[in-house]
Amino acid sequence: MTAGFGSRSQSATGATEPFADRLAALVEARHSQIALGLDPDPAALWPAVHETSADGDPAELTAAAVARHCRAVIEAAGAACVAVKLQLACFERLGAAGWAALAETAEAARGHDLLVIADGKRGDVPVTARAYAQALIGKTPGPFGSVAGLGADAFTANPLLGRDSLEPLVTAARECGAGCFSLVRTSNPGAADVQDLVAAEGPVHEALARLVDDFGADLLGASGLSGAGAVTGATRPEHLRRLRELMPRAIFLLPGVGAQGGRVDDLAAAFTPHPAAGLVAASRSIVDAHAGGGAEPAAAAAAAAHELRRATWRLATG
């Protein structure tokens, strides 16, 4: 891990700067609220990352190509972004070699002073939630010494199992200076099936928002923002104003812009408390920006990322 701007540095007292403040500083420095989504599909990598000599285990070769692809995307588009959002499923499907590629990609992101968001949407009973926290942001004690986890700066969590399933994640996040983005209203059409059911207290997604807000003080930064964040899809902006009322301090992670149909201009409510109160997650619209026009992938990705950066910065500070 580099000790650069935005990385998880510890003070002399062992305290770790909260995720919210590290993010706010990066947003201000780069005039960007973009989280670069890396969901690598081995069948659609940038052409330059394929090696000509292809002898060996398919999993190892594929994982190495995936890691090269992710590094190339970070080198091309990272300067326009403040974070990478690593889609764990896309690495897990390559087994142990894929997990090594995940760790390598996280390291590459840190090398470009990007925050690392592990997007695995984990959620489980308390004892298992603690294990997930060890995997993503902590370390695991054992007979041969501690084993370091992925070292992410933040992660996504699924709150279906309720408060006691989130508590160990938030506790670990506080100890590590990390952020925890809990699902509140996701970007897919099926989200309505469960998240929009209406209980006496209001829709389920509002109950999830209240859960997130209850943890707000635990991960609060000097910026006034909290790393007890929320995943609020950009595809249904009509929810954002209400969710912002319910979670005034939470950082919103906003997936669904671009390929899924969400538009930056509809996201103003996310940014009302602070320019760093929202993170626009974009993957295909940056990584596959070359697909339409025939431009070189890196140049197209850089251009798309900067365009999205400018549009979001204008919206958030306008």
Catalytically active residues, by annotation: 121
Distance (Å) of CA 99 to CA 105, 176, 220:
10, 21, 31
Cα dihedral: 98, 103, 107, 109 (round 10): 60
* The token pair that represents 78 in the structure block: 């990272």
Residue 7 contacts its own copies per CB under 8 A? no
Establish if 172 lies at the interface with its own copies (CB under 8 A): no
- Interface with its own copies (CB under 8 A), residue from 141, 217, 263, 299: 141
In the bound state with its own copies, the residue whose beta carbon lies nearer, of 7 and 182, is: 182
Among residues 22 and 185, whose Cβ is nearest to its own copies? 185
Q: How far is CA 18 from CA 25, 107, 134, 149, 228, in A?
A: 11, 20, 18, 19, 11
| Nearer to its own copies (CB atom), residue 94 or residue 287 | 94
Minimum distance between the CB of residue 156 and its own copies, rounded to whole angstroms? 9
Return d(Cα 309, Cα 66) in angstroms, integer. Answer: 25
- Quick one: 57 or 245, whose CB is closer to its own copies? 57
Asked if residue 188 binds its own copies (CB under 8 A), the reply is yes
Among 12, 14, 127, 294, binds its own copies (CB under 8 A): 127
DSSP summary character for residue 10: B
Q: Is 4 a residue that touches its own copies (CB under 8 A)?
A: no
Q: Which stretch binds its own copies (CB under 8 A): 17-25, 54-62, 75-83, 238-246?
A: 54-62
Name which position in 3, 14, 52, 199 contacts its own copies (CB under 8 A). 199
Q: In whole angstroms, what is the distance from residue 138 CA to residue 155 CA?
A: 12
Site for its own copies in 12-41 (CB under 8 A): 39
Task: Give residues 74-93 in contact with its own copies (rule: CB under 8 A).
Answer: 87, 89-90, 92-93
Sequence-distant (≥ 6) Cβ neighbours of residue 6 within 8 angstroms: 22, 23, 25, 26, 82, 113, 114, 115, 153
- Pick the closer one to its own copies by CB: 16 or 188: 188
Structure tokens at 284: 């295909």
Site string for its own copies, 260-279 (x = CB under 8 A): x-------------------
Nearer of residues 8 and 121 to its own copies, judged by Cβ: 121
Q: What is the DSSP code string of 182-226?
A: EEEE-SSTTHHHHHT-EETTEEHHHHHHHHHHHTGGGGB-TTS-E
Cα R_g (the chain), whole angstroms: 19
Instruction: Confirm or reject binding of residue 208 to its own copies (CB under 8 A).
Output: yes
- DSSP secondary structure letters along 126-159: HHHHHHHHHHHTSEE--BTB-EE----SEEEE-G
- Is 298 an interacting residue with respect to its own copies (CB under 8 A)? no
Of 50, 241, 263, 314, the residue at the interface with its own copies (CB under 8 A) is 50
Subset of 277-296 contacting its own copies (CB under 8 A): none
Q: How far is the CB of 248 from its own copies (least distance, A)?
A: 21
The least CB distance from residue 237 to its own copies, in Å, is 17
Q: How far apart are CA 36 and CA 53, in angstroms?
A: 30
CB 285 within 8 A of CB 258: yes
CB closer to its own copies out of 50 and 314? 50
Count of helices and strands (H, E) across the chain: 12, 12
Total residues binding its own copies (CB under 8 A): 80
Q: Strand 115-122 vs strand 34-38: parallel, antiparallel, or unpaired? A: unpaired
* Minimum distance, C-beta of residue 146 to its own copies, in the bound complex (Å): 7
